Amino acid sequence: MSYDRKSIPDLGIDESAKRLTPEKIEKTINAVLKGTGARLKAYLETCIHCALCSEACHYYLSHDKDPSYSPVAKVKMTLWEMVKKKGKVDADFIRQCSRIAYTECNRCRRCSLYCPYGIDIWYLMALVRRICLLLKVVPQYQMDTNYSHSATLNMMWLKQDDWVDTVQWQEEEVRMDYPTARIPFDKEGAEIMYTPIAPEPKFKPQLLAATAKIFHAAGVDWTMPSFDGWDNSDISMHSADFETMARVERKHFEAAIKLKVKRIVMCE
């Protein structure tokens, strides 16, 4: 048994892998590994390769227990190899790492709860994602979402007028049923700031109306920011783009501070 997969073309992985050089790969891997500490060391020196994490993984279970989908196997095929070869790996290997870390693990962390040692395999896969991100070998859709966060601070490339327009449109819809209902924008000192995720205004605006109806019926003192920080999602965290992740989170909390609300309530 080995890592045997049907080839799936992906611009984000294939095209950017062509631009890699061995020096760049080695430098990036070693820079990321140098920034780690006690956790990576303890995890590498503790894992006894027992594979008891396997049955935690839904990829493993849904591929008829193919051993190459087990969590420990994913670490073996990516991080152990990088550590063992001290970063001297080729572009094809990085492509494979990107595919494993981004598309065969969705970082649900069940495996950590199945591991007798409590090894945080999620953290190890995040390191692999971080390396792939810095090398820009990331599935195109994932990278696009990441760029959206970077440029607009929401995950769906929504501009501010799109957002404001959508919410006001939904407010009109709500008022058809409840004439006094409102979706209050920028209400300073409200009890709660409610934040959706960007796919709601983008694809399912009626969810915003449904939420407004619930808040209206419950008589909640609520508000939403009309400015950046209204999206509570942060896909950059999943891409291990920690710089963008921090910007998005900061903006979210700053919106709450600016509106002087007591609590943030997030959808989902």
User: CB of residue 114 vs other proteins: minimum separation in angstroms?
Assistant: 4
Is residue 103 classed exposed, middle or buried when 0-12, 13-18 and 19+ CB atoms within 10 A define those classes? middle
The one among 13, 32, 72, 190 contacting other proteins by CB under 8 A: 72
- How many residues in the chain? 268
Decide if 69 contacts 3 (C-beta within 8 A): no
User: CB of residue 123 vs other proteins: minimum separation in angstroms?
Assistant: 9
The one among 14, 24, 83, 117 contacting other proteins by CB under 8 A: 117
Q: DSSP class of residue 156?
A: T
Q: H-helix or E-strand containing 154?
A: none
Alpha-carbon distance of 265 to 268, in angstroms, equals 10
User: CB of residue 118 vs other proteins: minimum separation in angstroms?
Assistant: 3
Residue 206 touches other proteins, criterion: CB under 8 A: no
Q: DSSP for 185-226, please give it.
A: BS-TT-SEEEE--THHHHH-THHHHHHHHHHHHHT--EEB-S
What's CA 13's distance to the chain center, in Å? 18
The one among 1, 21, 34, 243 contacting other proteins by CB under 8 A: 1
Amino acid at 30: N
The one among 6, 21, 34, 38 contacting other proteins by CB under 8 A: 38
Please, which residue, 73 or 153, has the CB nearer to other proteins? Answer: 73
Size of the site for other proteins (CB under 8 A): 36
Decide if 36 contacts 79 (C-beta within 8 A): no
Find the part of the chain contacting other proteins (CB under 8 A) among 35-43, 95-103, 150-158, 208-216.
Answer: 35-43
User: CB of residue 93 vs other proteins: minimum separation in angstroms?
Assistant: 17
- Binding to other proteins by CB under 8 A, coded x per residue (else -) over 42-71, reads xx-xxxxxxxx-xxx---x----x-xx-x-
Residue ranges binding other proteins (CB under 8 A)? 1, 36-39, 41-43, 45-52, 54-56, 60, 65, 67-68, 70, 72-73, 76, 112-120
